[in-house]
Structure 1
Amino acid sequence: MGTVDPLTADWLPEQTAAMQRLRDWAVSFAELNQHLATWMSLPTSDANALGHIIWAAEDDRPLTPADLSRQIGMTSGATTVLLNRLESAGHIRRSREHADRRRVTLRPEPDAREQARAFLAFAGAEIAEVLTSTGTEDLRHVVAFVERLTEASDRANKRLSAARGAKQPDA
């Protein structure tokens, strides 16, 4: 665990602003996901899950149901029901691509991927403009910063998951 106490640290205005802007981006991204749900005539939770599956496939890191369950914050049972809906609607397929045939991989169906791409083409113009007009060095700094934050969040999530059954620290 880190040595900085987030409750008593003397935060610089730039540090506070960075966290506020990241929060603003997360809220805005969630709203875009709600628009994707409407675009694809899906419940928001299904569109969110489908988005995770598509992004992972685009990054050539397909998800397992357990990965997806962790990312969307649902139990394995609820995730199974959600995946059944997405599969029945023709948006995803489950495959067994690993040596361990018990391991399931989630893949988007081509039509779902194309619908998502059409949405991004329509809805992502403003974001694309920012990305294409930002210098390479600035983007490298942003990527490095967000990677460090993600790694820190991942460590905190693992620590919290391990302590889930343990008593909460005294407040």
Structure 2
Amino acid sequence: MSADMRAVTAQSDRVGRYFARQHDVSGNDFHALLHVMVAETAGAPLTMAQLRQRMDVSPAAITYLVDRMIDAGHIRRESDPADRRKALLRYESSGMDVAHGFFAPLGAHLRAELAELPDADLMAAHRVFTAMIAAMSRFEDDLAVQQKTASNARDTPARPA
């Protein structure tokens, strides 16, 4: 299954590069748009700080990236109803139309490939993907802790013996 997941990830990356080239966005911009879409689809839109964390870029870089995506009509900022001091990043309908237009043929190919599979198999596959995503998320959390621990160790001055 790990090999399959790597293959899906690699193929997805190649398709994403086609989207980026055809719509004049950088690879980083595409990854940001993907993060915004995944979060919005899950019902948990991202703040700029959350997107910055996911992209692992500086505050200045994320501001520049988000401003470009807003100017291009892909996303918009919206006040967070839970905290008016924060802004949520939402897909702009014109940006969503562009994404749907590009990825609709992929959806058709997926439906054709999956049409012969029984619902029970599709439900099992969904559980497998959910478990794999959870495992990757926990691994990412572990890596963040390791990075913070290593960073703290570098920043702590050595005590004289």
What range is the shorter-chain TM-score in? 0.7 to 0.9
Offset of residue 137 of structure 1: 4.0
* Counterpart residue type for residue 47 of structure 2: T
Q: What is the match of residue 15 of structure 1?
A: none
1:107 aligned onto 2:90: yes
Structure 1 residue aligned with 2:136? 150
Written as runs of structure 1 = structure 2, the 5 A alignment for 1:27-66 is 27-66=10-49
Q: Is the 8 A contact 1:39 1:119 kept in 2?
A: no
Aligned counterparts, 1:77-96, within 5 A: 77-96=60-79
How many residues align structurally?
151
More strand by share: 2
Residue deviations 1:64-121 (CA, integer Å, cap 9, x gap): 1111112222222111100011111221111112342221100111010011011110
The alpha carbon displacement at 1:130 in A equals 4.2
Which of the residues 137, 149, 153 maps onto 1:163? 149
How far residue 129 of structure 1 moved from its aligned partner, in angstroms, is 3.7
Most deviating of 109-118 and 23-32: 23-32
Structure with the higher helix share, 1 or 2: 2
Larger deviation: 67-76 or 139-148?
139-148
Match of 2:158 in 1: none
String of CA shifts for 1:124-164, please: whole Å, max 9, x gaps: 43334445544234224413431441342233133134325
In the aligned structure 1, how far is the partner of 2:133 from the partner of 2:73? 34
Give the letter for the 2:148 counterpart.
A
Following TM superposition, where does structure 1 have runs of at least 4 consecutive aligned residues deviating by more than 6 angstroms?
Answer: none
Q: Cα RMSD between the aligned structures?
A: 2.3
Of 56, 59, 62, which aligns to 1:73? 56
User: Percentage identity across aligned positions?
Assistant: 24
- Quick one: distance in 2 between partners of 1:125 and 1:73? 34
For 1:22-72, what per-residue CA distance to the aligned partner results, in whole angstroms no more than 9, with x for missing partners? Answer: 222222111111111123221221122112212222222111111111222
Give unpaired runs (5+ residues) of structure 1. Answer: 1-17
1:152/1:132 CA distance change after superposition, 3 Å: farther
